[in-house]
Amino acid sequence: MTLAPPAPPTSIDRLGETTTLAVSYLRVSTKEQAERGGRDEGFSIPAQRDANLRKARDLNAIVVEEFIDAGESARKADRPELMRMIEYVKTHQVAYCIVHKVDRLARNRADDVAIHLALKDAGVILVSATENIDETPSGMLLHGIMSTIAEFYSRNLANEVAKGMTQKAALGGTVGRAPIGYLNVHKRDELGRDVPTVIADPERAALVRWAFEAYATGNYSTSMLHSELVDRGLTSVPTPKRPAKAPGLSTIQQMLSNPYYKGDVIFRGARYDGLHEPLVSAELWYRVQNVLTAHQVSGEKTQTHEHYLKGSVYCGDCGSRLMVTHAKNGKGIVYPYFICAGRHSKRTNCVRQAMPIEHIERQVEDYYRRVQIPEHIVTALRQMLVRQFDDLHTANKAARHTLAAERDKLRDERRSLLHAHHAGAVPLDLLKEEQDRIARRLAFLDAQIDAGQIEYDQAKAHLEDCLALAGDMHTIYMSIDDSLRRICNQAFFERIHVYEIENADTVRAEHGEPFDALLDPNLHAAALAYQASVHAGEDLKPADVASLNIDYWVAHTGLEPVTSPVTGERANRLRQ
């Protein structure tokens, strides 16, 4: 026995004629679809409207209200117009809800059931303009099948889109909208195909470059840089619905830390070499990151610095940060001082008196002179550490040989595969599949083999740079301006502690990486001992030097253990 669908609700007009009422629901998934062709509604929504109106005429119904969700995904049920439609049918006598397809309403089974029940409770029959969906058993069965297919399509499409985006990023493409300073454009390749690409924005790229160069000097905070960029006319890229406007402070902060500007594409945490033109060099980008880090460490991210030592110096008695203050004498002359923040806020029991800033400046300058590595020790350190690098590089040769052997084997396999295909033994689809597999593995092996040598060369170059800095740090510090002194302090030291010893201020620093190792007197002693062993013709590895006792160091280097006057800890001090 076939069940007939329930009779639709009707209304009576002024002439006494009966009219069936309906609502129409239209949806497109993206804003681009809603604006395609330069129209307010794109192409899809008018097509859906025409189909729904034809279906209404077939049902002898009149569409009394239309609900449009433009740029709303069907994977979520809280679409504004959908919610408004459900509320509307609860309070109005409506017979039908007409959709173009079931997937316009929902693309997962749970939401489809919930929406369908809400319409059914309101006495509304769901009708598809292009599918045979109604309240009969066969219509309900088809509805369930179509809803399940829509859910599968939605999930599968999401997976395919994610795979495509990952592949695009791996090939160096830009996923999504390019940041300020770039433009998303479309070009035609040699085959006439439309290819989306990214180019430097002719109006904004120069301002972005200037922003990186200016911030790298250390003379700007992010708020100052933001104000200057706004004054210079930096704006966002206008769209048909959004006019150009000045960027916010957060946009400038994100811009300075975005590796996209040095040519990298970051997608899902992975880094890829981008195809777009870098606006700044890698060296400049890393300088900017150092300035950002220095501002964060000093606790002064966006404020004007009062003194280049502020944020680097700490009270040696209680460990609190030192603050800048100004005192005026009876003649109106202002003197700057450092005071303990712990004592000032009464967070600690510190009794440290105010310290004249010029005294602390001289003590820090003297500390640079005292810890600067003498030239003969730099030579010994270079000799020992380069030997250690070479030993490690040699130890990794076996692994590189294994990778190289696998690479040669894969290249032979690729040639054999191609010969087999030409002989008709391997079909084209299998050839492509195997070639892709071999190509991916070869790319990985090449990267691993090259990376071993590149990392070795870069590490040695970095070591040489650090030794040069540590061997000339006092001269460098005395020759640069205050803004660069701030960066210098943040690079060499974690903290600079100011102690009061015999009524005089003395400083001692916690060294930052890698200078905590390079400035360690124990390492200096080991380097001199290693150098002495080499001159004596002994076959001693650097790793063996660390196990030697103090007597060996004294005998070979003229060192003796002394006690630090500041911390009381034992340390090996070089006697110049």
Instruction: Name the residues annotated as catalytic.
Output: 29
Q: Other C-beta atoms within 10 Å of 29: how many?
A: 20
Round to whole Å and give the CA distance between 117 and 536: 92
Strands (E), 100-167: 125-128
Contact in structure between 322 and 341 (CB atoms under 8 Å): yes
CA distance 101 to 71: 17
Strand partners, 510: 495
Query: What's the gap between Cα 503 and its chain centre?
Result: 49
Question: In 10 A of CB 300, how many CB atoms?
Answer: 16
- Name the E strands within 158-226: 182-188, 194-200
**Phi, psi of 148, deg, nearest 5:** -65, -40
Residues 198 and 184: beta-carbon distance below 8 Å: yes
Nearest Cα to Cα of residue 311 among 487, 470, 476 = 487
Single-letter amino acid code for the residue at 383: Q
**Tokens read off for 482:** 């205050």
Q: Are 116 and 89 in contact (CB under 8 A)?
A: no
Cα gap 238→244, rounded to integer Å = 4
Amino acid, res. 140: M
Rg (CA), the chain: 36
Q: What is the token pair recorded at 360? A: 């602390």
The one-letter amino acid code at 256 reads L
Q: Dump the DSSP string for 503-517.
A: TEEEEEEEEPTTHHH
Tokens, residue 79: 């679409």
* Contacting residues for 418 by C-beta, under 8 A, at least 6 apart: 431
For the record, the structure tokens of 125 come out as 């029959």
Contacts 24+ apart (CB under 8 A), 561-564: 564/508
